[in-house]
Homo-oligomer: A and B are copies of this chain.
Amino acid sequence: MAFSLRRLILGSPLPTWRALHERLPKVLALPVFASDAMSSVAYATEEIVIALSAAGALALYHVIPVTIAIVLLLAIVVTSYRQTIYAYPSGGGSYIVAHENLGVVPGLTAASALLIDYTLTVSVSVAAGVAAIISAVPAWEPYRVFMCLGFIALVAIANLRGLRESGLLFAVPAYAFIVSFLVMIVAGAVKALGHAAPPSHVAPLHVTEQLGFFLILRAFAGGCSAMTGTEAISNGIPAFRPPQSKNAAQTLVMMAVVLGTFFIGISCLAQYLHITYSPTETVVSQIAAWTFGRNWFYFAIQIVTMVILVLAAETSFAGFPRLASILAQDRFMPRQLANIGDRLVFSNGIVALWVLSSLLIIIFHGSVHLLIPLYAIGVFLSFTLSQAGMVVHTLRRKERGWRHVVAISTIGAITTAAVAVVQAVAKFTHGAGIVIVLIPIMVWIFLKINRHYRTFASQLRLPSGEPPAAPEVRNTVLVFVPGIHRGIIPALQYAKSLSPDCRAVYIETEPEGTPLIEERWEKWGQGLPLVVLESPYRSMIQPILKYLDDVKEERVRHIVTVVIPEFVPLKFWHKVLHNQSGILLKFALLFKRDIVVTNIRYYLEE
C-alpha cells in the first residue's frame, strides 16, 4: 500500500534511457538560470531599509548610495564570472573551480558554503514569496509557516517526480515578473516625477542606534542578499545552445542588467516614498500599492513575485542534489546521494533539502529578515574561492590575455573576500556566526567520510594475481529447540540438509521437565543429537553463548550456523503474546563474530 501511495504521488518508475538533455536558447536560458538572482530584488531593498531604520528616518537617505555600492559589486563579480564561463565551458561551479585549483579543503569549503546557500535559498525565497502574498492578504498571517512548508513540499514533490528545469515552465512567470516590475518602476517614477506626494502618515521610527559606519556596513551586508543566485549560470553552461560559453556569458550580463536596474529602481522609489519596515507588508508591496492603489495589477505583482520566488527555490532543488551527487561521487558525502531514483532524479538529495529547508522555516518562523543574516556569507565565500581558483587556473596556463584575466579575478576575489568579512563582522551575532562555525564542521565531516570510503575500498580490494585455492569450508549446525512441537520440524529438516555435523540445543530452565523432553525427542528429533544446557538462572541466552564458545574451540576451522525456528503468526499483534527467546538469541548473536544465524519460519494458519 505504501508503494501504491508512492506511485500515485511520484509517478511510475522511468527507465534509464529516458535521461536526456535539453539545450536551451538564450531566451529560455535567462528565465531558467536568472530567476534565482532576479527574484532577490523582492527582499534586498527591504534588508537595507530595516538596517538603516534603526538610526531613524533621516538615515533612510542612505538607501540609494548603499544600493549603488552593491550594484557596483555585482558588476565586478559578473565581470569575473564571465571569465570563469569561458575557462570552464563544461560547468564551473565554485566547488569544481576551487577543488581543481586550490586543493581539497578550499573546494570542500566552497561546497559547504554552496550547500548552505542552496538550503537558505529555498527557505528565504519561499518565505519571501509567502510574505508577498500575506502583504496582499494580511488575514493569512497566522498561516505563514504552514504556507511556507506547503510551497516547499510542492516544489520538493515536483522534483521527486522528476520535474526538469524546462524552459517553458520558467519563461512565462519570469517574463511576467520582468514586465510587471518594469511597469511598476516606470509608473512609480512617472508618478514621483509628476510630484505626486509620498504618503503623509509615515510611521514614526523607534531610534535605537546612531547612524555610523557600522550601521551602514550592516545595511550593505543585508542588501548583498541581492547577489545570491549569481553563480547559477556558470554551473549550467552545458544546458546552453552552442556556442555555449558565449551564450552563457551574454545571458549573465543580461541577468545583471535586469537585476541592477530593478534593484536601483526599487531602492529609489523606497527612499522617495520614505518606506519603512513593516513586519506584515513588504517594501515591494508598499511601492506597488502607492503606485497603482490596491487594484488587480497590484495583486498581479504580488502573485508574480511569489511565483518567481518559488521558481528560485526550484533552482536550488536542481542545484543542491546535483552538487551533493558530485560530492558523493568524489566520496565526500554518503554514496546514497549519488543514487539515481526510479524517476531519474537524485531523490535522496531532494528529500534532504526538503527536510533541511523546512526545518529552517520552522526554526525562524518563516521570517525572511531572520533568515537573511545566515545567507549571504556563504555566497561571498564561494565567490571568493571560485575567483581565487580562477587566478591560479590562469596563472598555471598563461594563455593569451592571461594578465587581464588575472587582474580582474584578483580584484573580484579581493572584493568578495572583503565583503565576506563584512558579512561575518556585521551580522556575526545575528546568525552569520552559525554559518562560520558550521562550514569547518562540514568540511571536517566530508574529510572523515572520504577517509572511511578510502579505507573501506582498500579493505575490499581483491589481491592481484591468481586467487588462492579456497580452503574447503565445513559447517557445524546447531538448532535452537524451545520445546518439542510441530514448529521445530522444518528447522530440524533444514538443519539436516545443511551439514552432517548437526545438533539440537535445548535450554533447561525447569529440570523436572527434561525427562519428558528427552523422551519426546527420541520420537520426533529426526535422529539429531539433543544437547541439554542447564540454566539455573533461567536465562535463555547465556548458556547458548557459553556452549557456542565450546563448539568453536572444538571445531576450529568450521563455520557455526545457528538455526532458530520462528513462528509467523497470522496477525501481527499475536507476536507480543509469545516469549521472544528466538529473537533475543538472534540479537545476542549479532555481536558474536563468525557465527551465522538463520531463521526458519513456521507459518501459523489460524
A interface list, Cβ under 8 A from B:
13-17, 334-336, 339-342, 449, 452-453, 455-456, 459-462, 466-467, 470, 472-475, 484-487, 489, 493-494, 496-499, 509-510, 520, 523-524, 526, 536-539, 559, 561, 569, 574, 576-579, 593, 596-601, 603-606
25 chain-A/chain-B pairs, Cβ below 8 angstroms: A13-B537, A15-B536, A16-B538, A334-B577, A336-B579, A340-B538, A341-B538, A342-B537, A453-B577, A455-B604, A456-B604, A459-B486, A459-B604, A459-B606, A461-B485, A462-B520, A467-B523, A467-B524, A474-B497, A475-B497, A497-B499, A497-B559, A498-B498, A596-B599, A597-B599
The residues of B that contact A598 with a CB separation of less than 8 Å are 561, 596-598
- Contact (A579, B335) CB under 8 Å given A459-B606, A496-B473, A536-B16: yes
Given contacts A472-B497, A497-B559, 19 further A-B contacts (CB under 8 A): A13-B539, A15-B537, A16-B537, A17-B536, A334-B576, A339-B579, A341-B538, A342-B539, A452-B574, A453-B577, A455-B606, A456-B604, A459-B604, A462-B485, A462-B486, A462-B524, A467-B523, A593-B603, A596-B598
Q: Is the CB of A600 within 8 A of B605?
A: no
Q: How far is the CB of A332 from chain B (nearest CB, A)?
A: 11
B residues within 8 A CB of A510? 16
Whether A497 and B473, one on each chain, are in contact in the complex, defined by CB atoms closer than 8 angstroms, is yes
Nearest first, the 3 A-B pairs at minimum CB distance are A13-B537, A460-B485, A15-B536
Instruction: Provide the bound-state CA to CA distance between A224 and B96, in Å.
Output: 80
Contacts of A461 in B (CB 8 A): 485-486
Nearest Cβ on chain B to A567's Cβ, whole angstroms: 8
Bound complex: CA A574 to CA B413 (Å)? 37
CB pair A475–B455 under 8 Å, yes or no, is: no
Q: How many copies does the complex hold?
A: 2
Residues of B within 8 A of A493 (CB): 470, 473
Given the complex of chains A and B, what is the CA–CA distance between A509 and B341 in angstroms?
A: 11
Q: Whose C-beta in chain B lies nearest to the C-beta of A457? A: B485
Residue of B nearest to A591 (CB): B568
Which residues from chain B contact A537 at a C-beta distance below 8 Å? 13-16, 342
The smallest C-beta distance from A222 to any residue of chain B, in angstroms, reads 37
CB neighbours (8 Å) of A15 from chain B are: 536-537
Residues in B with CB closer than 8 Å to A497 are 472-475, 499, 559
Asked whether A487 lies within 8 Å of B460 as measured between CB atoms, the reply is yes
Task: Considering the complex, give the chain B residue whose CB is closest to the CB of A488.
Answer: B460
Chain B residues within an 8 Å CB radius of A606? 455, 459
**Distance in Å: Cβ of A293 to nearest Cβ of chain B:** 55
Closest residue of chain B to A577 (Cβ to Cβ) is B334
Q: A521 → chain B, closest Cβ, in Å? A: 11
If A473-B497, A537-B342, A578-B335 touch, does A605 touch B459 (CB 8 Å cutoff)?
A: yes
Do A494 and B467 touch across chains, with their CB atoms under 8 A apart?
no
> What is the CA–CA distance of A474 and B474 in the complex, to the nearest angstrom?
18
Centre residue among A16, A456, A493, A510 by max chain B CB count within 10 A: A456
Closest to A477 in B: B498
Q: Name the distance in Å between A457's Cβ and chain B's nearest Cβ.
A: 8
Q: How far is the CA of A277 from the CA of B475 in the complex (A)?
A: 76
- In the complex, what's the smallest C-beta–C-beta distance from A179 to chain B, in angstroms? 43
For A496, the closest partner residue in chain B by CB is B473
**Interface core residue of A539, A577, A579, A597 (most chain B CB under 10 Å):** A577
Closest residue of chain B to A604, judged by CB? Answer: B459
Q: Would you give the shortest CB distance from A601 to chain B, in whole angstroms?
A: 8
How many Å lie between the Cα of A596 and that of B486 in the bound state?
18
Can you name the residue of chain B whose Cβ is closest to the Cβ of A451? B606
Nearest-CB distance from A193 to chain B (Å)?
Answer: 61
In the complex formed, the residue of B with least CB distance to A15 is B536
CA distance in complex: A597, B561 (Å) = 13
Task: Report the Cα distance A574→B455, complex, angstroms.
Answer: 11
Cα A14 to Cα B536 in complex, Å, equals 8
Known interface pairs A336-B579, A485-B460. Does A596 touch B494 (Cβ–Cβ under 8 Å)? Answer: yes
Residue of B nearest to A485 (CB): B460
User: Shortest CB–CB separation between residue A12 and chain B, in angstroms?
Assistant: 9
Instruction: Specify the chain B residue showing the minimal Cβ separation from A495.
Output: B473
- In the complex, the chain B residue whose C-beta lies closest to that of A510 is B16
A520 contacts which chain B residues (CB < 8 A)? 462
Chain B residues lying within 8 Å of A574, measured Cβ to Cβ, are 452, 456
Q: List B contacts of A499 (CB < 8 A).
A: 497
Chain B residues in 8 Å Cβ range of A538 = 13, 16, 339-342
Kindly state the separation between the CA atoms of A600 and B460 in the bound complex, as whole angstroms: 15
Q: Residue of B at shortest CB range from A540?
A: B339
A15 and B599 alpha carbons, distance in the complex (Å): 30
**Are B486 and A460 in contact, with the CB atoms below 8 A?**
yes
CA distance A467 to B579 in the complex (A): 27
Docked-complex contact B577 and A494, CB < 8 angstroms:
no
Chain B residue, CB-CB nearest to A483: B460
Closest Cβ of chain B to A162, distance in Å, is 13
